[in-house]
A and B are shown apart, each in its own frame.
Chain A
Amino acid sequence: MQRRFGDQEVDICIVGAGAAGGVLARDLARAGLKVVVLEAGPFWDPQQDFASDELSMQKLGWQETVLVAGNNPLKMGHNNTGRGVGGGTVHFTGVFLRFHESDFRVYSQDGVADDWPISYADLAPYYDRIEREIAVSGPKHFPWGPFAGPYPYPEREPLSANAVVFRQGCEKLGIKSAVTPLAILSAPFDGRPPCINRGFCNQGCLPNAKFSTLIQHIPQAIAAGAEVLPDCTVTQVEVDEKSRRVTGVIFVHDGTEYRQPAKIVILANFVVQMPRLLLNSATPAFPDGLANSSGMVGKGIMPHSSYDVYAKFPEEIRLYKGTPVLATTQDFYETDHTRGFVRGYTLHAHGARPVAMATGISVGAGTWGPQLRRAMLDFNFYARITQVGEVLPSEKNTVTLADEKDDNGLPLPLVTFGYGDNDLKLIDHAVAKMKEILTAAGGKPEFVIPDTAHLMGGCRMGADPRTSVVDQWGRTHDHPNLYLAGAPIFVTGGGVNPTETVMALAARTADHLIQQARRGL
Chain B
Amino acid sequence: MATKSHYPHYNVLDAAEDWDPHTRKIVEARLLPLESVEHLTTAETKTLYSVVAALIDDDRSEILDYVVKHFDDTLGKRIGESQRKTGVPPQADLIRRTLSGLGKTARDNYGKPFPELTVDEQHTILGQLERGQIPADGIWMNLPQKEAFTKLLSLTVEAYYSHPKIWSEIGHGGPAYPRGYVRTGPGLVDPWEAQREE
How far, in angstroms, from A66 to B178 measured CA to CA in the complex?
36
A200-B154 in contact (CB<8A): no
Query: Interface segment, B19-27, B106-114, B133-141?
Result: B19-27
A373-B57 in contact (CB<8A): yes
How far, in angstroms, from A380 to B193 measured CA to CA in the complex?
12
In the complex, which residue of chain A has the Cβ closest to the Cβ of B19? A52
Given contacts A53-B26, A74-B83, A368-B153, contact A206 B3 (CB under 8 A): no
Among B26, B58, B150, B167, point to the contact of A354 (Cβ < 8 A): B167
B1-A374 in contact (CB<8A): yes
In the complex, which residue of chain A has the Cβ closest to the Cβ of B180? A196
Given contacts A56-B26, A64-B79, A73-B85, contact A362 B184 (CB under 8 A): no
B71 close to A (CB within 8 Å)? no
Given contacts A68-B83, A196-B181, contact A372 B171 (CB under 8 A): no
In the complex, which residue of chain B has the Cβ closest to the Cβ of A195? B180
By a CB distance below 8 angstroms, the chain B residues around A172 are: none
A478 close to B (CB within 8 Å)? no
By a CB distance below 8 angstroms, the chain A residues around B186 are: 161, 164-165, 315, 317
Given contacts A48-B22, A52-B177, contact A379 B171 (CB under 8 A): yes
Given contacts A64-B79, A373-B58, A377-B170, contact A53 B5 (CB under 8 A): no
Among B55, B83, B171, B181, point to the contact of A75 (Cβ < 8 A): B83
How far, in angstroms, from A56 to B22 measured CA to CA in the complex?
11
By a CB distance below 8 angstroms, the chain B residues around A48 are: 22
B166 close to A (CB within 8 Å)? yes
B80-A53 in contact (CB<8A): no
B104 close to A (CB within 8 Å)? no
Count of B residues near A, CB < 8 Å? 65
B39 close to A (CB within 8 Å)? no
Given contacts A52-B177, A358-B160, contact A65 B22 (CB under 8 A): no
A55 close to B (CB within 8 Å)? yes
B157-A53 in contact (CB<8A): no
A76-B171 in contact (CB<8A): no
Encoded as 1 (CB less than 8 Å from any A CB) or 0, chain B from 1 to 36 comes to 111111000000000000110110011000000000
By a CB distance below 8 angstroms, the chain B residues around A480 are: none
B58-A67 in contact (CB<8A): no
Among B57, B90, B177, point to the contact of A198 (Cβ < 8 A): B177
A62-B82 in contact (CB<8A): yes
A78 close to B (CB within 8 Å)? yes
B171-A198 in contact (CB<8A): no
Among A73, A76, A320, point to the contact of B172 (Cβ < 8 A): A320
Given contacts A316-B196, A317-B186, A414-B86, contact A53 B178 (CB under 8 A): no
B153-A315 in contact (CB<8A): no
By a CB distance below 8 angstroms, the chain A residues around B184 are: 158-161, 197, 321-322
By a CB distance below 8 angstroms, the chain A residues around B22 are: 47-48, 50-51
- Give the residues from 153 to 175 in chain A that come closer than 8 angstroms, CB to CB, to chain B: 158-161, 164-165
Given contacts A52-B20, A377-B170, A378-B1, contact A67 B180 (CB under 8 A): no
5 A-B residue pairs with Cβ-Cβ distance under 8 Å, sorted by A, are: A65-B81, A197-B182, A373-B56, A379-B171, A380-B194
List 8 A-B pairs, minimum CB-CB distance, nearest first.
Answer: A196-B180, A77-B82, A52-B175, A377-B2, A76-B83, A374-B1, A64-B80, A65-B80
Interface residues of A (CB under 8 A from B): 47-48, 50-56, 61-69, 73-78, 158-161, 164-165, 195-200, 206-207, 315-318, 320-322, 353-355, 358-359, 362-363, 366, 368-380, 402, 414-415
